[in-house]
Amino acid sequence: RHHPERRRFTVAELYYDDDADLSLIQSKKVAIVGYGSQGHAHALNLRDSGVDVVVGLREGSSSWSKAEEQGLAVATVADAVAAADVVMILAPDQVQRTLYSEQIEPNLKPDAALFFAHGFNIRYGYIAPSAGHDICMVAPKGPGHTVRREFEAGRGVPVIVAVEQDASGQGWALALSYAKAIGGLRAAGIKTTFTEETETDLFGEQTVLCGGVTALIQSGFETLTEAGYQPEVAYFEVLHEMKLIVDLMWEGGISKMRWSISDTAEYGDYVSGPRVITPEVKERMKEVLADIQSGAFADRFISDQDAGGPEFKELRTRGEQHSIETTGRELRKLFAWTETRDQDYTEGSV
């Protein structure tokens, strides 16, 4: 074991490079379905680890030439799957069910292993593979572009690993071999289950990381501007500086952040934080968690997506129309280093 000292700091079961046999995945043909954020990173890292990879894409996909330019073999999803011993599904969660039933399942070898980077479709039963398939998860805890960049630098992004169905009896060995090939076990593999990964991932993004933080920022911005403060000043105080605070917590936890800020800010944190995030907020969090656990959230999301996403599109438009977005667009022009970023994301580049 390379990092025995780390084991004392966690109750989770961890895996490192020494726990995995790379030759296992090297003996398989791997189809990567989708070539977005995760897809490009998995395909290139596997290829560079000596694995036989084919990328499966829709005919006419704009990613087709991008993957070929990187020297990868590309085929239709049907052809890629038909040849594969391992199929990693890295298409968006909401298209996986139809993609699976129409293009993957009919072409899947009876003993092919199915891999995922998020448990959503398995956890909620949108994909229910037959008993002959291993069902494994290798989910990097970082964006695909970081997964690729770290691999090229000789490091890795930690991964979480799970096996939902071990048809071959080799599911864990195969999942760890895959995790090693994408560089994840250079950092660590953390053992989890499809259920734990899916429910905690949805809870985290809904209540804290995405939903919680955006609602907090918008409420703070509204409170200041409604009280007559300048929107530009309010923007700096409630949004721009968020990154500095989050970076400190990321480096050294809440304690390091509190050590770094002024005593005034630290005292205000203690006395006013709990006035804003009251015990009722935690009760609401429990309700959100219950909707995640019951499948009510998944059902609402997928039903809306199946109808063409009317609710999703309306909510997205409403979010884009919040006055903090207008203020931010103008202010960010003052920062030379962010000059092109707004344009990048509106053009949809990954």
Q: How far apart are CA 180 and CA 159, in angstroms?
A: 9
Comparing CB distances to Mg ion, the nearer of 112 and 202 is: 202
Chosen residue from 24, 99, 190, 234 binding ligand NAD by CB under 6 A: 99
Number of residues that bind ligand NAD (CB under 6 A): 24
Q: What is the DSSP string of 202-225?
A: HHIIIIIITHHHHHHHHHHHHHHH
Q: What is the DSSP string of 102-150?
A: IIIGGG--TT-EEEESS-HHHHTTSS---TTS-EEEEEESS-HHHHHHH
User: Is 92 a binder of ligand NAD (CB under 6 A)?
Assistant: yes
3-state secondary structure of 259: helix
3-state secondary structure of 14: strand
Nearest approach in angstroms of CB 343 to ligand NAD is 19
- 61 labelled ligand-binding: yes
- 253 labelled ligand-binding: no
* C-alpha dihedral (270, 272, 277, 279), degrees to nearest 10: 70
Q: Which residue is nearest to ligand NAD (CB)?
A: 36
User: Is 319 a binder of ligand NAD (CB under 6 A)?
Assistant: no
Comparing CB distances to ligand NAD, the nearer of 111 and 306 is: 306
Q: Find all residues with CB under 8 Å of 62, minimum gap 6, and list them.
A: none
- 63 labelled ligand-binding: yes
**Helix 37-48 crosses helix 144-152 at what angle (to 10 degrees)?**
20
* 240 included as an active-site residue: no
* C-alpha dihedral (99, 102, 107, 108), degrees to nearest 10: 50
Comparing CB distances to ligand NAD, the nearer of 54 and 99 is: 99
Termini Cα distance of the chain = 36
3-state secondary structure of 3: coil
Interaction partner, residue 143 (Mg ion, ligand NAD, none; CB < 5-8 Å by kind): ligand NAD
Look at the block and give the residue holding tokens 């203690």.
270
How many Cα atoms occupy the beta-carbon half-sphere of 175 within 13 Å? 32
Catalytic residue among 40, 118, 240, 322: 118
Nearest approach in angstroms of CB 273 to Mg ion is 15
Q: Which residue is nearest to Mg ion (CB)?
A: 201
Binding segment for Mg ion (CB under 5 A), chosen from 1-9, 190-198, 200-208, 274-282, is: 200-208
Nearest approach in angstroms of CB 100 to ligand NAD is 10
Binding segment for ligand NAD (CB under 6 A), chosen from 11-19, 37-45, 171-179, 318-326, is: 37-45
Q: How far apart are CA 128 and CA 37, in angstroms?
A: 25
Binding segment for ligand NAD (CB under 6 A), chosen from 87-95, 105-113, 308-316, 320-328, is: 87-95
Comparing CB distances to Mg ion, the nearer of 152 and 205 is: 205
Chosen residue from 21, 22, 29, 37 binding ligand NAD by CB under 6 A: 37
Chosen residue from 134, 164, 197, 201 binding Mg ion by CB under 5 A: 201
Contact between 118 and 197 under an 8 Å Cβ cutoff? The reply is yes
Interaction partner, residue 57 (Mg ion, ligand NAD, none; CB < 5-8 Å by kind): ligand NAD
| C-alpha gyration radius of the chain | 22
Interaction partner, residue 330 (Mg ion, ligand NAD, none; CB < 5-8 Å by kind): none
User: Is 189 a binder of ligand NAD (CB under 6 A)?
Assistant: no
Comparing CB distances to Mg ion, the nearer of 19 and 93 is: 93
The catalytic residues are 118
Residues of this chain that interact with ligand NAD (CB under 6 A) are 34-39, 57-58, 61, 63, 77, 90-93, 95, 99, 117-118, 139-140, 143-144, 350
